[in-house]
Structure 1
Amino acid sequence: MLHRRRGAAPDSATVRLLAEGMDGFWTDVIAPLDQDGDGKVDLREMTEGFKRVLTDPALYPEQIEPVFNCFFDLVDLNEDGKIDQAEFRQMFDSVAGVPGEDCAAVFAALDRDGPGALDRAEFHRAVTEFFYGCDPDAPANHLFGRVAG
């Protein structure tokens, strides 16, 4: 499925890289949430695990950054190391069905250096601000769609 969206062959390096990223997400983030050792991660385990990870910024590099590196690579359809506005809009449409004008406003606010694209560092700044920030007016609060006020 990934290969069709990205125009890559199922056995391509791109598909292998993305699959390895998702395998790593399972191994490093999801599987350790299985507190009772039954080989499954139930809703309680998932909720408690993510609550811990998403309230402790020290866990970002180990738990969240690899996931969003993979997400960044999925969104960066032309593989230029940046997410342009068209790719960002496609992400918004896929994740939350956000209207184009909201997408454009959020993208402009996140693109702090202004070249019309988010590099990996800007993307991680936005994700960090989204999960750990305290500013109710921060642009990243709308990273995955406008929050109704």
Structure 2
Amino acid sequence: MAYSWDNRVSFIVKFLYDIDNNGILDQHDFECMALKMTLIEGKGEFHGSRYQENLHIMLSLWEEITELADFNKDGIVTIEEFKKAVQRCCVGRSYRDFPQAMKMFIDSHFKLVDLNDDGVIAAEEYRYNCVTRIPVDNIDTLDEAYQNLLNDDDRRRGGLTLSRYQELYAQFLGNPDETCPAVHLFGPLHELC
């Protein structure tokens, strides 16, 4: 069940949004994400103007998530609340129909993965992104996941473009089919508790 919709959404919370690993989402996670993104983009250098842009994106995303998912208005979003919101806002929808701040996050995340900033996520960049987030003990596992993600056009281009990444991210969250190629977007997943 590692590629079930439920597990994929849990993965997004645990490995992309819950930066302080406390099992819930709050504003602090998104403030930390802004700094993390800024430092990764700058390869360790801090650029104040870029940080302000990232902070705006992350706080907008947090506001959007709380509006959509903080059902009891306690200032935190549980995994279950997040799943309900994603079910309502993303399942069966394309990228263009996603909430605006989520689209900004997806686009920003693409920039983080595209390390050489050439507009394409190649195998090496995919591998690097995966191992910074999940435990992997075999390069073949990563390469197989990457190949399962790609279509023929992706292979001809040498990887994933922003528009293809947007499409796959939307499917990762919005397509409950466990066999769709998008399930491999973040590497070989493990079943979460």
- Give your verdict on TM over 0.5: yes
| Bigger RCO of structures 1 and 2 (CA < 8 A, at least 6 apart) | 2
- Identity of counterpart residues, as a percentage? 22
TM-score, normalization by structure 2? 0.61
Moved more, 138-147 or 110-119: 138-147
Amino acid at match of 2:56: E
3, 10, 19: which one pairs with 2:46? 10
The structure carrying a bigger strand percent of its residues is: 1
Q: What's the counterpart of residue 142 of structure 2?
A: 103
**Alignment of structure 1 residues 37-76 onto 2, 5 Å:** 37-42=73-78, 44-57=80-93, 60-62=97-99, 64-76=102-114
Extract unaligned runs of 5+ from structure 1. none
Alignment RMSD, CA only? 3.0
Query: Matched residues in 2 for 1:106 and 1:14: separation?
Result: 32
Amino acid at match of 2:181: P
CA contact (8 A) 1:22 1:67 kept: yes
Query: Matched residues in 1 for 2:83 and 2:188: separation?
Result: 23
Query: Matched residues in 2 for 1:108 and 1:90: separation?
Result: 15
Extract unaligned runs of 5+ from structure 2. 1-34
Determine if the alignment matches structure 1 residue 131 to structure 2 residue 131: no
TM-score, normalization by structure 1? 0.75
**What is the CA distance between 1:140 and its match in structure 2?**
1.8
128, 135, 138: which one pairs with 1:90? 128
Alignment CA distance shift 1:55-1:139 (3 Å): closer
